[in-house]
Amino acid sequence: MTKVKVLFLGADPLSDPQNDAPGPRLRIDEEMREIVAKVRASEHRDSLDFTWQPAARADDLLQAFNEVRPEVVHFSGRGSTAGEIIVVGRDGKPHAITDRALHHLFRTMQDRIRLVLLNSSYSEAQCAGITESIDCVVGMDSEMSAEGSIAFAASFYRAIGFGHSVRDAFEQGRLALMLQRNPEDHVPRLSVRPGVDPGRVILVPSNSGQEPRQSIFVQGSGNTLYVAGGNMESQAAGPEKDPAAAHPDMLPGAHPAGPGELVLLQVNDTTRFCTAASVTERGDAVVMVLHPKPQDVAFLSMLTPSFGRPRLWAVFAESAVHGVAESVERSRAGGEERWTVTLAKESDRGDLLEMSVNGISADQIAELRARRILLDERPPSETSAWILADPTLEMVVRGTGRSGREDRGVERSPLPPLFSGWTGSRADFLAAARLAAVLALQASRTVEHVLELTLAWSGESAVSVRFHGQRRKVYSNRPAPEIRVEGVCQLAG
């Protein structure tokens, strides 16, 4: 599948170019986030490949143009009343790109560029010069608010992702402002090279060979969209394997926790590991019979209706379930105190922020996230400046898409922090660490099913990990993608 490369240049200097005083934050990161979300929900989400260049300096333009060879160039930042775009100088202050330099840049580097979007105030003054070399240029004829810039750009790229022409995408961007009753709908301007019809400039043709998406459906009051971007050509088509048949004891509901096994309960940032007498799933409910330690009683008391029925995670065997404590009963049996907690499962209504970024597919990004969770693996040495160099990729690896349940970003593995405060036995640590890993893997939507997860000690302060998981199924004619991870997680140091 041929992808359209989009070079996104962002620049927010420390001061306002108009008066050299500190200026308001431009919220460029929010603009990129909204664009990613809208493209991810489009028909041809994998046909757009974004490369993010934050805090762009003058020399970064040449470097990025040569490396990426984009079809689309997007600049988000400040503009001067003279129409200059403002990048970041080496001192962090504004550095203006002159008309002559900007026009020469696009004339020199025009080999593949078809569209330029200057999402900065007063940039419409540059459009005429750029269209001498480039088919379509979008600029702003006056000052534009951050809210307006974000809404226009996100809707523009959404339309591109649905296979619309540049003209239609431009009109949809303006329409988004109108629907928000934003009076800035007149600010964006579209200019074209002589002889070019923007209604015929389609960056992502509708016959691009994109696989069909899983359908969007509405459940309750929330919208749920299950998609997964990425290159899936390498997965062989064939008869679908039934995961329940291949792994009958690994799917939710098929392997409840037995007597003596640990159950992880988490409310907000408070986590407890309780010994279970039994855990069973009954339709949309999970019934847990627990033998708590004395220090866990106060925590379990928080789950009663008198405390407002807080939402919690319950993790057992290979399942992580989110919901509300429907009932909490305290009793004694055989001289032991028992707590029976019935958890009403909540529907998964969040949106899944997944798409290919910088040539890395959604499944590859999920594998990076799984390795971070299980091995505390950081970016490779060649991308040591990961977050600064590519915050968009870091954002999707963390999995910070807003969930209807809660935000479950993955900054690092849960295992080393658990080890640092652990006071129990080494055997119990492995059981607790396994549950913590299952929670991170499923709450972050890295995988839908944990098929295998084995932890074993590897020295005094490291564990070996063997993992096999299954992602959410997307295409009806292809099996669900799977992830395998093996390695050692260092718990200290």
Region class of 122: left (phi > 0), else alpha (psi between -120 and 50), else beta = left
Crossing angle of helices 99-108/58-68, nearest 10°?
Answer: 10
Q: 105-154 pLDDT, tens per residue?
A: 999 888 789 999 999 888 988 898 999 999 999 999 888 888 999 999 99
- Mean pLDDT, residues 354-372 taken together: 79
Per the structure block, which two tokens stand in for 450? 């944990």
According to DSSP, the residues that pair with 482 across neighbouring strands are 470
Beta strand spans in 3-112 (E): 4-11, 48-53, 72-79, 85-88, 94-97
Among 489, 429, 441, 440, CA closest to 462:
489
pLDDT number for residue 157: 95
- Please report the DSSP string for 299-348 in residue order: HHHTTSGGGT--EEEEEETTEEEEEEEEEEEEEEETTEEEEEEEEEEPP-
Distance CA 312, CA 356 (A): 31
Q: 40-73 pLDDT, tens per residue?
A: 888 888 889 988 887 788 888 889 899 899 999 9
Distance CA 384, CA 381 (A): 5
Our CA angle for 164, 167, 170, nearest 5°, is: 90
Which amino acid would we find at residue 61?
A: L
Among 17, 26, 23, 18, CA closest to 55:
26
**Run of H or E including 104:** helix 99-108
Q: What is the β-pairing status of strands 136-140 and 462-470?
A: unpaired
Q: What is the β-pairing status of strands 48-53 and 4-11?
A: parallel
Contacts of 52 (CB under 8 A, 6+ apart): 8, 10, 32, 357, 358, 390, 391, 392, 393
Q: 319-342 pLDDT, tens per residue?
A: 999 999 888 888 887 778 889 999
Our CA angle for 237, 243, 248, nearest 5°, is: 160
Q: What is the β-pairing status of strands 115-119 and 72-79?
A: parallel
Answer whether 0.85 is exceeded by the pTM: no
Look at residue 390 and tell me whether its pLDDT is greater than 60.
no
Sign of the Cα torsion 120, 123, 124, 128 reads: negative
Average pLDDT of the chain is: 79
Q: Which of 158-172, 290-304, 339-353 has the lowest mean pLDDT?
A: 339-353
Per the structure block, which two tokens stand in for 427? 């055997």
pLDDT number for residue 192: 93
